[in-house]
Amino acid sequence: MSTLIQHGTVVTAASTTAADVLIENGVIKEVRAGIPADGHDVIDAKGMYVIPGGIDAHTHLDMPFGGTTSADDFETGTRAAAFGGTTSIVDFAIQARGTRMRDALDTWWKKAENKACVDYGLHMIVTDLGSSGLEDMDEMVDEGVASFKLFMAYPNVLMVDDATIFKALSRTAKNGALICMHAENGSVIDVIVAKALAEGKTAPIYHALTRPTRAEAEAVHRAIAMAEIAGTPVYIVHLSSEDALNEVREARDRGVPAFAETCPQYLLLSIEELERPNFEGAKYVFTPPLRTKENLPKLWDGLKHDHLQVVSTDHCPFCFEDQKVLGKDDFTKIPNGGPGIENRLQLIWHHGVNTGKVSLNRFVEITSTAPARIFGMYPRKGEIAPGSDADIVIWDPNALHTISAKTHHMRVDYSMFEGFQVKGNARTVLSHGEVIVDRGEFLGKAGRGRYLRRTARGGAWK
Ligand SMILES: [Zn+2]
């Protein structure tokens, strides 16, 4: 089985070259101009960019939250990802308090197997170190779970105290895993939230108004300081504000290995969305919340100058009609999350590359190569070079597309980007050399995606 992608422009994080790509047995064999077509299946990529498949390092498929479950499972979520040019995801298994991490890993493997259409890795959300948690972390690393997420928000649900965070960070200093932090001061936010509810402020907008950017910045600062003390890198998830960004930049300027991601919603949407009438603001309730408009150009700037390294989605869809309504009379009961797994590349291309905010190479870096490196998948993923998995997107820079819930493939009844027009879209998507999406048609199948065993001491350590 061999496939030749001909006449395209190969774009990686490092270079842009006119070259053909030869694939054999799911792996890239050769990348150079003028590879003869003899005997291979040929895909014509004339006028197209040939880029590494997107990697979404932050998704929540089939995830229980607040008495309901995120609307996409591993089948519908990864199929939607594929349509948008994303060929690997890293989702989150959640350790339930008082249980072993192994139980959570088994549970999430079961959710994914026979369902995933693209490759998937797992982070482990640590809620409790108990008496065996530190050994459990080592065991998870052996299973390819090379990263852990801890929450500084959601007291009594997911939040852990600073001692737990510091112990976990210190363990990664030994086992080479990476700690991902949800950085918001949950204790302070809870006080502000209680006050708002007592004053009868129950509408969706109060979700955003009760979570100040300083609460995010304070937690980012504290997370980085604790990582410094532990002598280990740290990765801030879904960074949303200039305040928080300043903390990351300040640390990186001092040479601290602090990393951070942001998401399309923080780059493109702002707090006004939560004031939409008829409770529609609930469609934009996720955490951290949308911020004021002044933050948006600062985040783009952060991406351009590598103060932010990754764009992920935090895809966590809840249907408006039967899930978001749980918080109709109380914004704290609105399931937190929004859909986006399908639209990440389209949005960042259109609003980043087309406008000159990020270069072609930087686009590939923030959507694929950097997450591959940071999370221990490089060079198997995130690269177009001999030996890498043939996860490749043939990207049509001229394709016009209007984002809409009517046509998207995510199993959710609204889009946060409804009506957004984009120029540039995935035409053909290959995973392990197999065409799984071509010209809007899904050709893959559920269960073909493989579990990604990731290695410790990835790029965050170098
Ligand atoms: Zn998340």
Q: How far is the CA of 375 from the centre of ligand 1 (A)?
A: 16
DSSP-assigned letters across all residues of 386-450: TTSB--EEEEEEEEEEE--TTT--SSSS--TTTT-EEEEEEEEEEETTEEEEETTEE---TT---
Q: How far is the CA of 30 from the centre of ligand 1 (A)?
A: 37
- Round to whole Å and give the CA distance between 219 and 321: 34
* Average of per-residue pLDDT across 411-433: 98
Chain-wide mean pLDDT for the chain? 98
User: Given the structure tokens 């060929």, which residue do they identify?
Assistant: 87
Q: How far is the CA of 52 from the centre of ligand 1 (A)?
A: 24
* Average of per-residue pLDDT across 93-116: 97
Query: Which of 115, 41, 117 is closest to 81 using CA atoms?
Result: 117
Query: Which of 393, 321, 400 is closest to 364 using CA atoms?
Result: 393
Q: How far is the CA of 218 from the centre of ligand 1 (A)?
A: 19
Q: How far is the CA of 337 from the centre of ligand 1 (A)?
A: 8
Q: Which pLDDT score is estimated for 229?
A: 98
* Average of per-residue pLDDT across 352-356: 98
Q: How far is the CA of 180 from the centre of ligand 1 (A)?
A: 10
- pLDDT of 276 above 90: yes
Q: How far is the CA of 288 from the centre of ligand 1 (A)?
A: 9
Q: How far is the CA of 7 from the centre of ligand 1 (A)?
A: 39
Q: Which pLDDT score is estimated for 30?
A: 98
CB 282, CB 204: distance < 8 Å = yes
User: Given the structure tokens 């300027």, which residue do they identify?
Assistant: 253
Q: Which pLDDT score is estimated for 16?
A: 98
Q: Which pLDDT score is estimated for 462?
A: 81
Q: What are 70-101's pLDDT values in tens digits? A: 999 999 999 999 999 999 999 999 999 999 99
Q: How far is the CA of 273 from the centre of ligand 1 (A)?
A: 20
Does residue 83 sit in helix, strand or coil?
helix
Q: Which pLDDT score is estimated for 1?
A: 79
Q: How far is the CA of 195 from the centre of ligand 1 (A)?
A: 26
Q: How far is the CA of 3 from the centre of ligand 1 (A)?
A: 37
Q: How far is the CA of 26 from the centre of ligand 1 (A)?
A: 31
Q: How far is the CA of 59 from the centre of ligand 1 (A)?
A: 6
Q: How far is the CA of 203 from the centre of ligand 1 (A)?
A: 23
Work out the percent of the chain whose per-residue pLDDT is above 90.
99
Query: Which of 205, 271, 281 is closest to 241 using CA atoms?
Result: 271
Q: How far is the CA of 229 from the centre of ligand 1 (A)?
A: 26
The model carries a pTM of 0.98
Work out the percent of the chain whose per-residue pLDDT is above 70.
100
Q: How far is the CA of 399 from the centre of ligand 1 (A)?
A: 30
Q: How far is the CA of 60 from the centre of ligand 1 (A)?
A: 6
Q: What are 21-59's pLDDT values in tens digits? A: 999 999 999 999 999 999 999 999 999 999 999 999 999
Q: How far is the CA of 313 from the centre of ligand 1 (A)?
A: 8
Q: What are 209-218's pLDDT values in tens digits? A: 999 999 999 9
- Round to whole Å and give the CA distance between 368 and 389: 13
∠ CA 277-283-289 to the nearest 5 degrees?
105
Q: How far is the CA of 1 from the centre of ligand 1 (A)?
A: 38
Q: Which pLDDT score is estimated for 66?
A: 82
Residues with Cβ within 8 Å of residue 182, at least 6 apart in sequence: 149, 150, 151, 152, 153, 154, 158, 237, 238, 287
Q: What are 124-141's pLDDT values in tens digits? A: 999 999 999 999 999 999
Q: How far is the CA of 416 from the centre of ligand 1 (A)?
A: 16
Q: What are 198-243's pLDDT values in tens digits? A: 999 999 999 999 999 999 999 999 999 999 999 999 999 999 999 9
| Confidence band for 112, pLDDT divided at 50, 70 and 90 | very high
Neighbours of 424 (CB within 10 A): 23
